[in-house]
Amino acid sequence: MPEVIDERLYTKDQNLSAINAQHSLLHDRGICVIIPTYNNVGTIADVVHRTLLQCKDVIVVSDGCTDGTLEVLQGIEGITLVAYPKNAGKGTALKRGFKKALEMGFAYAITIDADGQHYPEDIPLMLKANQEHPGCLIVGQRKGLETMERSGGSKFANAFSNFWFTVQTGCRLKDTQTGYRLYPLKKLYGLSFLTSRYEAELELMVFASWHGVKLVSTPVNVFYPPREERVSHFRPGLDFTRISILNTILCILALVYALPLCIIRKTLGFLRNLYSVIFFLVATLLLMTPIAMIYLKIGMITEQKRDTLHKMLQFFSKVIILWHKIPGVKFSCGNPNKEDFSKPAVIISNHQSHLDLMTLLIHSPKIVVLTNDWVWHNPFYGYVIRNAEFYPVSAGMENIMPKLKSLVERGYSIAVYPEGTRSADCSIGRFHQGAFHIANTLGIDILPMVLYGAGKAMPKKEMWIHRWPIRIEIDKRISTEELQSYGETLKSQASYMRKYYKRRYAEMANKIEQDV
């Protein structure tokens, strides 16, 4: 359960329940906040307290502070403090903060500067970007930099950094000097810094890009106090010299290390995708469909022949999903209730890609699926679909209900995608009422199966298969009596189950996306 927070700490426009939910979501996704600090006694308490309001998992790294910052931090409850006596630079502070976060089991870390320039209230923006781009390095792009009063050195440093970052990585970012970032820790672990000072942040982004980590910008707010109140440890002469030396080294490495690495990675990725697509097309269109058609054409089509056809469909689905193991796609299944599909049910699942059907059929030969018209009338494999007794929902529930009843009496479960169509972004769409009408009419259980990752491995309207995990979880059966307790009407039952799926899908995503 989310922890209860003192409501007096919040401004009147903040919602306590929403903040509690945000705390839980950040923790469930394995996200913490790291604040490196060196002699920020005037701002550190405010930054840390405001950060704690947004995230309950905060690591503060005291980088050899000598001005009383450490004493302030020791008086703040609820933080994890990493401190050492001698100043070693921001790069070292980040590295030690990352190490501590990994030891504590976190998968991501949001970094915030301790000088007050960053708004902890923008943490929800970083969280949203992480949900939309799991596994990516999120870079906070400071808004309004062009209109803010900054020194000429600061403007030049940012433009200088942006230019050389593009040269070294081929990626274009508008703000490479921001310290407001979200790092995928498990993808950065083991990368050693060439430098230990603040330019290590740029180095870290360069090496991350070289190793295939995608960088994504998201707008964040920034506060620049009056010039006389700013705390800066930047030394123009020495630091620009050090940055220039670092960029020279990185440019050389970009040619002799990063470019060959990128060519090898892209070539292997292309070959992996090509092999996966060819295997998928050959297995489904050139083997499974023709073999099934030949089998059906020989002799009369009997009930026994249809049962054998279902076993063939299950076999080919297992070949593609389980035994062949599509390169880059790790499939897993959760079945805590030991479901064996021996008792007929209405199986419902969220719909994401062409791979969805096979993730269902691998579990039992006693499954038929309600389809769309284009599948039913497909000139190539429609004949097999029709003889497998997969019926189109467009025929009307009342017209196909006697056939479904017969299938149930023969021990078959009816699989339905309540959304009707695949969602491009893998979100859970509106549930139609057909599945619940079937369950209520035939008096059989609802069996929820929640699917994650198929739409990311093979996105809608794409044929390339991407490197991404796929997982399906078989949940507990829901009896018709229990289903009716969720609502007396089919509409209310469908609405309840959609909310159930949205919650379950989010739980799966939060866990799985810590390791992508």
| Residues 119-178 pLDDT 10s | 999 999 999 999 999 999 999 999 877 666 555 556 677 788 889 899 999 999 988 888
Q: Does residue 255 have a pLDDT over 80? A: yes
- Report helix angle 200-210 to 90-103, nearest 10: 60
pLDDT at 3: 38
DSSP states of 408-477: HHTT-EEEE-TT-S--TT----PPPSHHHHHHHHHT-EEEEEEEESHHHHS-TT--PPPS--EEEEE---
Q: What is the DSSP letter of 194?
A: S
Question: Closest by alpha carbon to 452, among 378, 507, 408, 495?
Answer: 507
Q: Does residue 420 have a pLDDT over 90? A: no
**Domains detected in the chain:** 7-234 (3.90.550.10), 271-512 (3.40.1130)
Tokens representing 263? Answer: 């060519």
227-241, 406-420, 460-474: segment of lowest average pLDDT: 227-241
pLDDT at 332: 94
pLDDT at 380: 82
**DSSP-based three-state secondary structure for 168:** helix
pLDDT at 276: 82
pLDDT at 237: 57
Tokens representing 100? Answer: 């501590």
Burial degree of 47 (CB within 10 A; 0-12, 13-18, 19+): buried
More confident residue, 391 or 225: 391
What sign for the dihedral angle of Cα 101, 106, 108, 112? Answer: negative
Would you report the helix, strand and coil content of the chain in percent, each value rounded to 5?
50, 15, 35
Q: Does residue 510 have a pLDDT over 90? A: yes
- Cβ contact 329:396 at 8 Å: no
| Residues 58-83 pLDDT 10s | 999 999 999 999 999 999 999 999 99
Distance CA 282, CA 324 (A): 13
Alpha-carbon distances, residue 92 vs 37, 39, 97, 104 (angstroms) = 11, 15, 8, 18
Burial degree of 80 (CB within 10 A; 0-12, 13-18, 19+): middle
pLDDT at 280: 81
Q: What is the mean pLDDT of residues 383-402?
A: 91
Rounded to 10 degrees, the C-alpha dihedral 179/183/187/189 comes to: 60
- Report helix angle 44-54 to 16-28, nearest 10: 90
Mean pLDDT of the chain: 88
Percent pLDDT > 90 in the chain is 63
pLDDT at 67: 93
pLDDT at 236: 57
| Residues 29-49 pLDDT 10s | 999 999 999 999 999 999 999
Q: Does residue 229 have a pLDDT over 60? A: no
Confidence of residue 465 (pLDDT cuts 50, 70, 90): confident
Confidence of residue 436 (pLDDT cuts 50, 70, 90): very high
Confidence of residue 2 (pLDDT cuts 50, 70, 90): very low
- Cβ contact 130:26 at 8 Å: no
pLDDT at 326: 75
| Residues 173-210 pLDDT 10s | 988 888 999 999 999 865 566 576 667 888 889 999 99
Distance CA 432, CA 351 (A): 13
